[in-house]
Structure 1
């Protein structure tokens, strides 16, 4: 429906205009996530500025936008509530250092282990989360201070302006691509609301609803430059134990969400980001956040999609978004405060439509039931619980499904050679999942006195396979029969204990490969 991903190369005009659009969309998100984490709005805005600037400048994915995110905000709540914001800053610094180490030790490559169904579930789940988050903009405070759904003319105006925003984004590119459709939509709806004096909620109304009643008259998004300060926490072992669990989770959540978003943009733009460099960029940005009073963050799939859709491809787009956001904070807060929420909601709804993998419904009919189950599982956990948990569960379930499916893939062709020896020619992997089936292939009691197991078309993957061979050697030895084992690697031969005397070494034919086992460590 919406052509979210354009293939235009990066240029200065597209990057600057796209960055301005992203900056407008960052404001309510940063404020909302600050309240989720239990900190002041300016802490979220500072985080969006610093994360966006640093990751755009030194990260591994040009065009990707980082800022304060909900996935990390929900991890911070308990620490802030129990120990205060100073401990949060310390935890963000430590999380950043852990992310830098992940990049230095080149751990970013492990994102390749995330299967395609998990990626689909991640994308669909985040699209649903973004959509549900926007529904909160359709609520207002009643006389009792409770959030209730809009009704009457206010609701109709909100819906009408949201649809108008989406229509502009959809139809304008058919007329011209000189300026980002999202930016035109936001400016048009803002001028319409204030020109006609419509009863529409604005960004400042949203902020006021999230603070106590006695503070609403003084609320503003205007601020100053963030300043350097070392978190005022005791530098003790006890402090480390308090912040370490939160820091580890923040680091993992941030890297998982950032690297998955990087992979998604890679696929959509036919380019290749650098995962390890992005780990370092995210780590540096979070470390700086902790020293300059920001709540930290990671890559934002919604704002990244807005940027890509608006033509932003280079680092300049993210840098522009961060600097424009800072400019809003310092000099133009009143302009941001007057933007109708409906315009921003419309932009995010377009992002949801473009982000959701509608093709997954067709894919489900063509793939096996296991992949469909993983896709729905990851989507559901992303919506109900947390992105990091969803991805970890998805990878584990996919690995277990893979192991189960390949457990029965090991087979043996048997024949008796001209010497009267029975030969088992194995095919398939020998690992923990296939060990039981491997043992059932043999008949130590019924076999002749000389038996050959040929691993030419098989491979031993782990120590469970080695133990299975040793156990089989014991059974043939108990029967007083001779076992010959051919075509295993020298590493496997060295790690065998009971069956080693049966291995026939052929330096020309035996394979060379390493086996996954702690014995080699």
Structure 2
């Protein structure tokens, strides 16, 4: 894939052409993700326009495309169902503020702490969640507010149109990449439904199902500019308690997906984006979304790859995509009403197939059991709870596994030096996970009068290690024996309370490093 990219520099022609292509590809997914979130399609289109424009201007990764995404939409659906769309707008504003603060305090670097097994579980869980969200499109309203599964000819038609959409999206890129396969699939399926007068639900049918019966008959999608409006929610602590958990989750998911996409594009283009600036750009875009009636979002891996492979490298490509999309909203919104739901579901199924890491099945038997467990764990938590909690749990479990494995690496070679003193030549880190094994290496009762602990190949990493060393020194002193500590860092010597006087200082050879502790803060 990387060899297909011949240009690493941006130019106006490539940016404009690639941006136009991306705009066409954004339409179906923006509408489809609006369905996932349970909001009107235009809210998804507004989000795609504002996210794309503002992140291209203020973000830290030229060439990356942002818009309404499934990762954030799956979090929004329960909020919209329980409290309404105005609470969603307020939540997106707060999420944007959180993201701006993350950029100001330079927290973007912490994306490096996400291990690869966690990422595999993340994308697999996301694919499953998006797939399950599509199941709602197979229900029809029988009476107001009462839905049941499709049956008979309507179900068969829906299945056939979904299959046709997926076949077009799979085979068309093998023939030509001049136009987005998703857009072609929508045009073909829509033309087929209209031309053959097939019984198939459309976007406007979905919109009417969302509205009360007295409003449904006159429902329409009117293309117009998004307008400024403060979210109509009570400015109370109760409102904050409602939206804050959703805002933190949306902010976290948005930054995780955006920064991971940034890293991917960095590798492909052999350039480097600015993670903290991207946090601020995403925050500005989401905050603006909340005030202008959009559902917010984050970076889109699929659309970003379309842009990069089409030659888009500069900020102009994202700006062009956003402006072309706006033109479609203003002058072509009535055509969106005719799009069959089956086409959008087919597109989302292809997104699922492309998002899921099928290679994870192949490597399950070849990777350590703990890595396989983390992949399954993160995928399961993503489906049951949400993406942010899944990634956080995955990182914590990975860290604990890492600590446990390294706790076994502490060991010591013992010998007598020229003075007849017993030397413990340590190897491995001394930290909270290894202190138990560290203590078992020594024999205060059976050791000779003088004992040396050599730290040339070891390191004390945290305050637990300091306390363990102090406790060991106390045991040797209780036996009336002298303990010599060599090659400790100055900070370690400062933190030792009982063994500080036992250190033998060598200014030229002693290491210099920091210890993870708040005592010196």
TM-score (norm 2): 0.89
Shift in CA distance, 305/213, structure 1 to aligned 2, threshold 3 Å: farther
Q: Which residue of structure 2 lines up, in the alignment, with residue 458 of structure 1? A: 458
Query: Equivalences for 1:95-494 in 2 at 5 Å?
Result: 95-143=95-143, 145-231=145-231, 244-264=244-264, 266=266, 272-301=272-301, 315-494=315-494
1:499 correspondence with 2:503:
no
Q: Supply the distance in 2 between the matched residues of 1:78 and 1:140 (Cα, whole angstroms).
A: 20
So what's the TM-score if we normalise by structure 1? Answer: 0.89
Equivalent pair of 1:18/1:312 in contact (CA under 8 Å): no
CA contact (8 A) 2:407 2:437 kept: yes
Aligned equivalent of 1:19: 23
Q: 1:502 to 1:109 in 2, by over 3 A?
A: same
Shift of 1:74: 6.0
* Deviates most, 470-479 or 11-20: 11-20
Classify 1:314/1:208 alpha carbon distance in 2 versus 1 (closer, same or farther; 3 Å).
farther
1:28 corresponding residue in structure 2: 32
Offset of residue 92 of structure 1: 3.1
Give unpaired runs (5+ residues) of structure 2.
Answer: none
The answer to whether the 8 A contact 1:6-1:308 is kept is no
Give the conservation status (yes or no) of the 8 Å contact 2:21–2:321.
Answer: no
Q: Give the C-alpha shift of residue 363 in structure 1.
A: 1.7
| 1:302-353 CA distance string (max 9 Å, x none) | 6556766877665455434433443343222221111222222222222222
What is the rounded CA distance, in whole Å, between the counterparts of 1:144 and 1:286 in structure 2? 34
Equivalent-residue separation in structure 2 for 1:114 and 1:94 (angstroms): 24
Q: Which runs of 5+ in 1 are unaligned?
A: none
Offset of residue 414 of structure 1: 0.3
Q: Aligned-pair distance for 1:41?
A: 5.4
Distance 1:322 1:166 in 2: 26
1:60 aligned onto 2:60: yes
Q: Hey, what does 1:515 align to over in structure 2?
A: 515
8 A Cα contact 2:37 2:77, kept in partner: no
Offset at 1:276?
Answer: 1.3
Per-residue displacement from partner, 1:142-193 (whole Å, max 9, x unpaired)? 3575333333332232222222222222222332232222222222222222
Query: In the superposition, relative to structure 1, how do residues 129 and 407 fare at CA in structure 2: closer, same or farther (>3 Å)?
Result: same
User: RMSD of the alignment, in Å?
Assistant: 3.0
Distance 1:423 1:373, change over 3 A: same
Shift of 1:123: 1.1
Q: Secondary structure at the match of 1:177?
A: coil
1:82: how far off?
7.8
Q: 1:388 to 1:177 in 2, by over 3 A?
A: same
Q: Against the structure 1 CA distance between its residues 83 and 144, is the aligned structure 2 distance closer, same or farther, given a 3 Å change threshold?
A: closer
Shift of 1:244: 4.7
SS of 2:217's partner is helix
Contact 1:221 / 1:337 at 8 angstroms: preserved in 2?
A: yes
Segment drifting more, 361-370 vs 167-176: 167-176
Residues 283 and 144 of structure 1, relative CA distance in 2, 3 Å threshold? closer
Give yes or no for contact 2:412–2:424 (8 Å, CA) kept in 1.
yes
Q: Contact 2:121–2:379 (CA<8 Å) still a contact in 1?
A: yes
* Counterpart-to-counterpart distance in 2, 1:260 and 1:291: 27
Bigger drift between 42-51 and 242-251 goes to 242-251
- Could you tell me how far apart the structure 2 residues matched to 1:27 and 1:355 are? 18
**What is the rounded CA distance, in whole Å, between the counterparts of 1:86 and 1:205 in structure 2?**
23
Which is worse superposed, 85-94 or 207-216? 85-94
- Separation of aligned partners in 1, 2:216 and 2:512: 71
1:4/1:354 contact within 8 Å kept:
no
Shift of 1:15: 2.9
Secondary structure, counterpart of 1:520 in structure 2 = coil
Aligned with 2:248: secondary structure? helix
Give the 3-state SS of the residue equivalent to 2:364 in structure 1.
helix
Local SS of the residue matching 1:347: helix
Question: Are 2:382 and 2:390, in contact at CA under 8 Å, matched by a contact in 1?
Answer: yes
2: CA distance between counterparts of 1:207 and 1:420? Answer: 87
**1:289 match: secondary structure:** helix
How far did residue 211 of structure 1 move?
2.4
Distance 1:323 1:148 in 2: 40
Query: What SS does structure 2 have at the residue aligned with 1:209?
Result: helix
Preserved CA contact (<8 Å) 1:64 1:318: yes
SS of 1:454's partner is strand
Cα drift, residue 8 of structure 1:
6.4
Q: Is the 8 A contact 2:422 2:452 kept in 1?
A: yes
Moved more, 324-333 or 314-323: 314-323
Contact kept in structure 1, 2:90 and 2:231, CA below 8 Å = yes
